[in-house]
Amino acid sequence: MSNAFNAAFEDYPIKLQFSLEDFRKKFIDKLNIDFNLSCGAFSGDRLVAFIFHSLENYEGKKTAYNGGTGVVQDFRGSQLTLKLYDFIIPLLMDKLVEQCILEVMDTNYRAVKVYQSVGFRQSKIFRCYKLESLKCELPKNEDILFKKTNYLELETLCNFDDVASSFLDLPVLLKKNLKNEEKVIAIKEDQIIGYAIFQLNGRISRLSVHQAYRKNKTGTGLIGFIYKYLKERPLTVMNVNENAVGLNSFLSSVGFKNELNQFEFRLNLAKT
């Protein structure tokens, strides 16, 4: 399965090549892919096209999230993605799934056209960021302590957010994969006032500061902690809702560059 994924994405603009272990961490552990709700097309014993789905409640609806669609190069042009959706949509509806969602790069015009032909429609715009070098001074406020932790009560801390996360970083998914994520918290007067969840590859899954403690360098301190902990390797933040004005502004202020954008597409399956 990982071989089929690598073959399908070997010419993708962003490097998406995984070892078997990395594939397991990304799709089995983090995305919690449900292979009973996923599908593939085969040529003999060879998997040549696939759709991977994860199932969770998203914005109040039972949702199948497309965590990966791919067709290997020598089978493109055969409308396999359309055929796979024709196959899987009735199965999803039988399971009372109310909607399908996915993300696609806004410059991937071919994929956008395919998804629109299935019936998907744009619902959100996400910005994706990368930081090569920290462009700000780290805070010197001795009243705030930044430290690693092994435990986070995500249900409470998610109240820090102004705008809900994308499907990929839903608290329920993060909680299932928390053993594979690093956690750092900002503490003032024995209270957690900010936190971040990140991976050793530099991807920040979640970053949030309590509304009462913003603009005092707490967020900068969290980024600085991660940057130093990972020995100044590049950091990325994916799928920031364009409506999260404060977070977008903050990321730019500390040196993150908005390198690409993604559309969230939604397909309504609810019976009316």
**Cα 120 to Cα 114: distance, rounded to the nearest angstrom:** 9
- Whose tokens are 């009735």? That residue is 90
What pLDDT sits at residue 81? Answer: 94
The pTM of the whole model exceeds 0.95: no
Query: Is 47 buried (19+), middle (13-18) or exposed (0-12) by CB count in 10 A?
Result: middle
What is the reported pLDDT for 8? 65
Report yes or no: 186 and 193 within 8 Å, Cβ to Cβ. Answer: yes
Handedness of CA 26, 28, 32, 35 (dihedral sign): positive
The pLDDT assigned to 3 comes to: 66
Residue 234 CB coordination number (10 Å): 13
C-alpha span between 81 and 53 (Å, rounded): 14
Quote the pLDDT of residue 124: 96
Q: What is the pLDDT of residues 232-248, one digit of tens each?
A: 899 999 999 999 999 99
Confidence of residue 155 (pLDDT cuts 50, 70, 90): confident
Q: What is the reported pLDDT for 256?
A: 95
Q: What is the rounded distance in angstroms from the CA atom of residue 88 to the CA atom of residue 80?
A: 12
User: Which residue ranges form the domains of the chain, and what is each CATH number?
Assistant: 2-125+263-268 (3.40.630.30), 134-254 (3.40.630.30)
